[in-house]
Chain A
C-alpha cells in the first residue's frame, strides 16, 4: 500500500510544491490540499499517513507567525488532529509549519498541548536566509538518526526558540525532545563534515535560539518541527558549494537527486509510514 502524504496549504503557504516533491522523491503518494477542504469536511485527515505543514507565511503571519492558521485548526480541527497524532501517524512542520505546531501546542506537546514554548524574532532582528549545520540529538523520532549532521538552509525572521521557564528545558532534555541543534563549522563543508559541540553562536546559530535548538519532537517522537528547510536540500546542486566538490563538478553522476542531506528526513518518514 502506498504511503499517503498530505501537504497542507492555505493562503500564504509557499513551500508546498517543493515539500510535495520531496515526499514524491521518497516514493510516497503525496497530495496538496487547501485547509478549507479539511475544515469543510470534504476530506479527512485519516486518509493520510503523514501530515506535513510546509513553510511560508500562512495568512501573511499577520498577528504573529503561524498564529491565524493555528487558531483556526485549534478552533475547528483540534480533535481530528489530536487523534491523528495519538494514532502514531507522522506530522512534520517546517519553518512556518513548526511555528504553527508550536502555536498549537502539539510541540512540544506538554501540559495538555498548551503552548509552552515560542519562536520569536531572530536576535539579529532580520529575516535571514543562510545555510546551517544541524546536529541530530535524539534517537526517539522516526524522522531522525542521532548523531547525524545535516546541512540545509534557514530562511525566517521568527525562529528563535524561547521557553516559558527554564524547568521546561530540563523536561525537554530528559524526554529527548530536543530533536536537533545548530552546530558550528566543521573541518570541511559537504560530504566530509564533522560534528561540533555546544552553542556555536551567531551566525551558525542564525537566530539566537536557546541552547541552539533548531527543532523539537513531541514525547512520542512522531511529531517533528524544525526551522531549517530539509526540502531545499534534496540534491547536490542545492548545496551552495557543489561547484567546489570534485564529484559535484564531475559530469559523470547520473543523477544527484536524493543526495542532499534534507532528503534523508523524508526518506525515513516514508519508510517508517509503510509499517503504519
Chain B
C-alpha cells in the first residue's frame, strides 16, 4: 500500500478564438489577469499562460491507468477545448505549451484550507470505479514570458496571483509540495489553565496569549468562579467562556451599562446611566409600535413577520467585516453563507429566498500610497467581496438583489460587508424548543481547523499584523455543502424530525450547543464530531468555525428517519451527544471529561461594568456652498460620484432571478439599467402576494449628527419600499450598526445618539424593528495611527404587499405626463453629496444641518403614497435621496429614455429656502418624484391633500432634462445620453 501522488496538467487548446500570439488573451481568465498586471504599472507587462493542475494521492494499485485515462478525459479536462497530461508527481521543467516561457509560478492551497474540488473529484473518480483516492487538490500554475526581477515576483506572489492567507506560491523549480496533511496526533490529555493564583498581569497575559479577547474584569470574574469551585478551568472551558462572552456573540456593549454624558451646543451637560441600550431604544420601539403581524422578534436567528395565513417571512442581516478585510473572497462568501444559515436556523428552518448585500469600501481609485500599510487595495477588496457573494449566493440558488455600495477613505483599512437573507417559513414552524433527552446532531460539513477564534478576532480592532496573526480566523466556504444541508433540513422540518435547530456560526459548536442547551444542559462527546482531517485538539473541535454546519435537537424516536433522509441526499449527519436537564455544559473527549460548566455562569456571569460615553453636540455652522461652474456640471459630478453611480457591473454578476419569483428587478426601464428603489418577489407560485425589499444608509451624516443620521436611514429605507408600492403599515425594519472603537467615549456616545434616532424613527413611522446586529471596534491600526470607520448604520426594510401587480418602477413611462413632487425641501445640505462631490476640483462645501424627519407628517406622506400607488394613480415613483431632486429627476429620465421639465418655483419648500442649489441638491427626507397621467392629476391631488405636494413639471418628447430655477431661468439643460454616461462611469471603470 504505497501511496503515490499523480499530477494532472490541463492546458487550454489554442485557436478556439482566433488570434495569437498571447494564449492568455484567448481566455477570459488570462485577460483579466493581464488587466491586473497592467494595474501594477510595470514597464514590461509579461505574457502569461494559465494551466490548471490537480494532484491525486492514493495507493498505486487503486489507480489503474485505463480508468485514470477516462478520468482525465471526462472529469479533469474538456476534450473539445483542453488537452491534459497525467504524470507521476512533479511537473516537467518545461511545459508543453512552448519554450518561450521563462518563469513558472505554481499556486497551491495552504494545508488545511478548504478545497471544494476535493469532494467532487473524489465522487467523480468513484463513479469511474476509482475508489482508493485518499486526497485530491486543485492548483494552478502560471508561465511568464519575460524575465522577472525578484521584486516583481514578490509583487506577483502577494498582490496578483494568490492571497498569502490561504495560498502559497512556489516559483520556478522549487519543489512543489501538494498540501496534503499528514496525520498528526491529537491532544487527548485534559489540560488545565492555572488561573486561581494568577495576578492581574498574568490574567491579561493568559487572555492575550490565548486570543481570548477577555478584559481584566472578565478574567477576574472567571477566576472568582473557579476559586469558588476550588479547581482550575480546563482550556476548553476557558475558551467556551471567551466565545460566549465575546462582543460578537453577546453584544456586551449594546446590552451593558453606559454612563452617558450629553453636552449640548451651548455647553449644558446632562448625565444618565443607560441600562441596556438595545432594550431602551430598538426593542422598546418595537413594543411601542404594537403590530399584530410580528411573529418573532429579537429572540431567534432572524425576525419573522406574517406573510399570509399560512406563511411567514424571516429577515436577518449580518456583517462580516474583519474576515473580508483580510481575505475578501472567502470572508464575503462565508458572510453570505453564514447569514443564510441564520435563515435555516430560524424557527424550525426557513427557506432562503433572497439575499441582500451592502458594502462599504475605500475609494476604488485610491492611490497606492494612500492605502494603509498592510491593507489590501480597496479595488481588490471590492472585486474579491463581489466575487465571494456572487459565487456563494449563485451556487446556493438564492437571488441576490437589493443592495448598495458606499465609498469613503475611512473604509480603506476596514471595509464593511453586510449580508442579508430573507426566508419563507410556515407559520406553524416559527417556534422551537429543546427538550432534555433530545439527541444533538451536527449536520453538514466536517470540522477542520478553519476559523479558529473568529468570534474573538472579530471583536477587536484590525492591525497591520492581523493578516499574519489571524489567518486561521478566515474560512473558505463551500456553497454546495450548504445547499445540500438546505435540501435535507427543509424536508426534515416538514416531517418534524427535529425539535430545534441553530447554525454553527461564530464560536462554532461552542456557541450553537451552548445557546440551544442554555435552559436545559448539554453533554457532548467531542470525538464523535466528524473531522476533515486528524490532529485537531478537543478544544479546536469545539470552537472551530468550519462552515456549513447546523446543530439539531432530535427526539430519539426520529433519529433513524433523519439519518436515512440525510443518507439519501448524501449529507453527513452525526449524533454527538444529548441535551440534559442538568443545567451544565459537559464535554468529554475519548472518555475523559474536559468540561463541566454551569450554564448559568456561562450565560449570565459576565460582569457588567459601566462604560463612559459622551456626545458633544457640534455648534451649528451655516452652509458653505462649493464652487461649481453650473448646476448642470454639478449634476454630472454627482451622477459620476461612486456612491451614486450605477452599480450595474456588480448587480449583473448576481443571479437575481433564480427561484422564479422576481417581479421587480434592481435594474429597470426599457434599457434595463435604471436604479430601482426596491426589489420585489412573489415567494409563492400560486399567489400574487409579494415582498418588497429596500435599505437606507448614509455614513457621511454621522460625523455631523448621528441622531439625524439614524432618522434619515430609517426614512430612506422606508422611502425605498414605499416608492415601489410597499405598504408602510406592513413594513418591518432591521438595524445593523458598524461602529468604531466604543472604548472611546465619544464613539460610544455617537452610538447612543444613533440608537435613539432609530427608536424615534421607528416609533414615528409606526414601523417595528424585528432583528438587528452590531459590529463594533471597526478600526484599523497601522504605523502608530488608527483609522476608524465613520459610524455606519444600515437600515434594511421589508414590506408585504397584497398584490404584486400593483407595484411601480422608477423609470419615466411616456411624454405628456405630469410630475408631482411630494415632501418639503429644506436647506439641509450638511453631509450632502452635493457638498462632498458637487464642486469643481477640490472645492467642497461644508457646514449645514443633516436632514431631519418631521412627524407625524412623514408617516402620512408614506400612507398617502401607498394609497395612490395601490389605486393605480401613479405611473412611476422615485424617492429623493443622494443628490436630491436633480439626481432623482435625471435618473428617472435616462432610465425611462424620456425627457422632462421641472420648475423649482413650484416645489414645496420651507420658508427661507432661496437658492436653486438647495432645491436641486438638498437631501431632505420623505420626498418623492411621481409621474402621473393627466387624467389622474386631480385624484392624486386629493390623496395628498393637506400634505406638501405639488405639480412641478411634465415629461417630454425631447431626450433632455430641463430644470428652471426659482426666478424662472433655466438652470439645468442636459441631454439624457450624457447624464447616463456620467452615471455609468464607475461600472465602466470596474469592467476595465
Name A residues whose Cβ lies closer than 8 Å to a Cβ of B: 11-15, 17-18, 21, 34, 36-37, 55-57, 59-64, 67-68, 70-72, 74-76, 103, 115-118, 120-131, 153, 155, 162-164, 189, 229, 231-232, 234, 237-238, 240-244, 248-249, 251, 253, 256
Contacts and interface: CB of A to CB of B under 8 A. Distances in A.
A243 B664 contact: yes
Given A15-B397, A71-B75, A244-B813, A153 B660 contact: no
A115 B79 contact: yes
A253 B688 CA distance: 12
Nearest to A189: B670
Contact of B28 (A18, A122, A162, A253): A122
Given A11-B570, A12-B480, A60-B480, A238 B124 contact: no
B397 A118 contact: no
Contacts of A12: 395, 479-480, 483-484
Most B CB contacts (10 A, CB to CB) among A11, A243, A248 go to A243
A116 B81 CA distance: 10
A130 B665 CA distance: 11
A107 to B, nearest CB: 12
Given A63-B76, A153-B657, A240-B665, A251 B806 contact: yes
B811 interface: yes
B42 interface: no
A241 B664 CA distance: 9
A60 B478 CA distance: 8
Contacts, number: 191
Contact of B120 (A59, A120, A155, A237): A59
Interface residues of B, number: 73
B128 A21 contact: no
Given A15-B397, A128-B652, A129-B652, A244 B127 contact: no
A59 B657 CA distance: 21
Contacts of A60: 116, 120, 395, 478-480
24 contacts: A11-B484, A11-B487, A14-B659, A34-B568, A57-B397, A60-B116, A60-B395, A62-B480, A64-B78, A67-B74, A67-B75, A67-B78, A75-B128, A115-B79, A117-B80, A118-B78, A123-B17, A124-B28, A125-B29, A127-B655, A229-B657, A243-B809, A244-B813, A251-B872
Given A128-B652, A237-B682, A240-B672, A36 B660 contact: no
Interface string B689-729: 00000000000000000000000000000000000000000
B81 A76 contact: no
A122 B807 CA distance: 34
A164 B80 contact: yes
Contacts of B121: 62-63
Contacts of B479: 12, 57, 60
Contacts of B29: 121, 125
B81 A129 contact: no
Contacts of A127: 390, 394, 653, 655
B654 interface: yes
B652 A75 contact: no
B32 interface: yes
A117 B875 CA distance: 47
A256 B807 CA distance: 14
B439 interface: no
Given A62-B480, A72-B123, A237-B682, 15 more contacts: A11-B483, A13-B397, A55-B658, A60-B395, A60-B479, A63-B120, A74-B74, A115-B79, A115-B80, A118-B81, A129-B652, A129-B656, A162-B17, A237-B663, A240-B667
B667 A59 contact: no
Contact of B657 (A124, A232, A243): A232
Contact of A155 (B32, B658, B663): B658
Interface string B392-411: 00111100000000000000
B681 to A, nearest CB: 10
B31 interface: yes
B16 interface: yes
B805 interface: yes
Contacts of B138: 62
Given A57-B394, A63-B117, A17 B660 contact: yes
Interface string B104-137: 0000000000001101110110011100000000
B120 A249 contact: no
A243 B667 contact: no
Nearest to B396: A14
What 7 pairs across the A-B complex have the smallest Cβ distances?
A14-B397, A125-B28, A18-B660, A62-B120, A118-B80, A60-B480, A243-B809
A234 B120 CA distance: 33
Contacts of A240: 665, 667-668, 672
A92 to B, nearest CB: 16
B808 interface: yes
A163 B27 CA distance: 15
A162 B809 CA distance: 38
A126 B29 CA distance: 10
Interface in B69-100: 74-76, 78-81
Contact of A68 (B124, B394, B484): B124
A115 B78 CA distance: 9
A59 B123 CA distance: 9
A22 B365 CA distance: 46
Contacts of A232: 657-658, 660, 662
Given A59-B123, A121-B29, A243-B664, A155 B655 contact: yes
A251 B801 CA distance: 15
B804 interface: yes
A189 B670 CA distance: 7
B28 A123 contact: yes
A256 B659 contact: no
Contact of A36 (B81, B568, B803): B568
Contacts of A67: 74-75, 78, 124
A162 B80 contact: yes
B154 interface: no
B737 to A, nearest CB: 31
Contact of B660 (A21, A243, A251): A21
Contacts of B655: 127, 129, 155
Given A18-B660, A130-B672, A155-B657, A121 B27 contact: yes
Contacts of A13: 397
A244 B674 CA distance: 13
Contacts of A234: 660
A235 to B, nearest CB: 9
Contacts of A118: 78, 80-81
Contact of A63 (B75, B128, B129, B664): B75
B858 to A, nearest CB: 26
Contacts of B487: 11
B676 to A, nearest CB: 10
A126 B76 contact: no
Contacts of A57: 394-395, 397, 479-480
A32 to B, nearest CB: 10
A64 B803 CA distance: 41
Nearest to B400: A129
A89 B117 CA distance: 34
Interface string B564-581: 000011100000000000
B989 interface: no
Interface string B9-33: 0000000110000000001110110
Interface string B745-766: 0000000000000000000000
Interface in B450-501: 478-480, 483-484, 487
A162 B682 contact: no
B668 A243 contact: yes
Contacts of B568: 34, 36-37
A157 B656 CA distance: 14
Contacts of A21: 660, 685
B16 A251 contact: no
Interface string B208-251: 00000000000000000000000000000000000000000000
A125 B484 CA distance: 28
